[in-house]
Structure 1
């Protein structure tokens, strides 16, 4: 299980065992997986935690460094084919992310990062490349590239409002029986497997094709990750600015 943390005021009275340690956010391989500003996801988590008085520690782990297994939230971004293959190989050998996910740490991955969490993904020539097996998904290369805005209605059990992002991929991701789709596509392509879904999750491991960055555009999704990490509900904060950006992007895609 992820380590619990102390929240301010009465939020810490919900009966969950807590400690005073900070949330450790691990940004994995920024030298390989960091396209389209996905590092912004780390900044949003830091900011939204700070507004609630929750301390954070952020560690940037390059591909020649070990992944610390004691993190609470692990983030992976998008990348090109070769860096994606290198990242999958090094993460498999390293074992830190696998160990952390096994004890219930939060993992949030975008695009290439999402694909490499699965059993396999398409390599430079479309050949299957082994992934980490943290999600029951298999990805390959489709005939056309999905480029543009994406909107989706999130699985009800996650209690997250409609999400918005930017996708740029040629991947086709098929979900196995042990995962759930993150959202049903309202506009855009998403997983591209013909079932009309975007992303996938199981437990505290969640993947998506959404850039944007995804957590900047979707504060509810950022708070979901923080809730998972602290093991409790979060105090409300002023979301007016984040809400404006989200509504602006939604109206740009769905003006009616």
Structure 2
């Protein structure tokens, strides 16, 4: 489809990489390649400068200490802000989602976030662990969200963002909404990894990055089987 390589940056895998979040980079590259789009994944460690001309940036989950350190280094680097200003796509998961906001809590202290999304996060009364599902904002044109969450945070959305989904199982942001998005920036608490369990979400990021509004269809038989199994399991667990 294209001779230009799609550039995908996995940010700080040495700090932020839990619950298979590396799979998000693999899924994006593979789904691009299956459509004839060359794709490369660049892993940028926390002691390296962040390139500013990539198409998609991925930030995974992590523990409190690495999350706080990752935010500090990204703020000092400034590369992600420059990339966003130039129109790049950013996808954050769990800790990576929280640090895209204005503030978050780590090890009992409030930490400054990147301020790229109008969200703030604090601690909830209990840890959210288990299946996470929700009905996605219809403007995004993708089906039901499914994933796995494991976090102690609660995220509050400001007026400048929209929730990714309305929760049907699990906690997400606060038990009512899950994730947030604005423009080409999107965050979620969904692991799984998220893009393996939600291939349409991967394709949304690819459309944003390439400007191609109608991507060729792929055979997602196995992915849809997994999604059906997980939704059935969630429904069964909810029965009295």
Using the size of structure 1 for normalisation, the TM-score is 0.90
In the alignment, the residues of structure 2 paired with residue 35 and residue 123 of structure 1 have an alpha-carbon distance, to the nearest angstrom, of: 16
Highest relative contact order (Cα 8 Å, sep 6+), 1 or 2?
A: 1
Which residue of 172, 175, 179 maps to 2:154? Answer: 172
The aligned residue for residue 107 of structure 2 is 124
Q: Does 1:91 align with 2:77?
A: no
Structure 1, unmatched stretches of 5+, are 1-6, 9-19
| Counterpart mapping for 1:7-156 below 5 A | 7=1, 20-125=3-108, 127-156=109-138
CA contact (8 A) 2:11 2:45 kept: yes
The aligned residue for residue 170 of structure 2 is 188
In the alignment, the residues of structure 2 paired with residue 158 and residue 74 of structure 1 have an alpha-carbon distance, to the nearest angstrom, of: 19
- Local SS of the residue matching 1:108: strand
Using the size of structure 2 for normalisation, the TM-score is 0.96
CA contact (8 A) 2:157 2:180 kept: yes
- Local SS of the residue matching 2:29: helix
1:28 CA displacement? 0.3
In the alignment, the residues of structure 2 paired with residue 249 and residue 53 of structure 1 have an alpha-carbon distance, to the nearest angstrom, of: 30
Structure 2, unmatched stretches of 5+, are none
In the alignment, the residues of structure 2 paired with residue 47 and residue 25 of structure 1 have an alpha-carbon distance, to the nearest angstrom, of: 11
Alignment: residue pair count: 236
Give per-residue Cα distances to partners, 1:8-59, cap 9 Å, x unaligned: 6xxxxxxxxxxx3111000000000001110000111111111111110110
Q: Which runs of 4+ in 1 moved over 6 A?
A: none
The aligned residue for residue 214 of structure 1 is 194
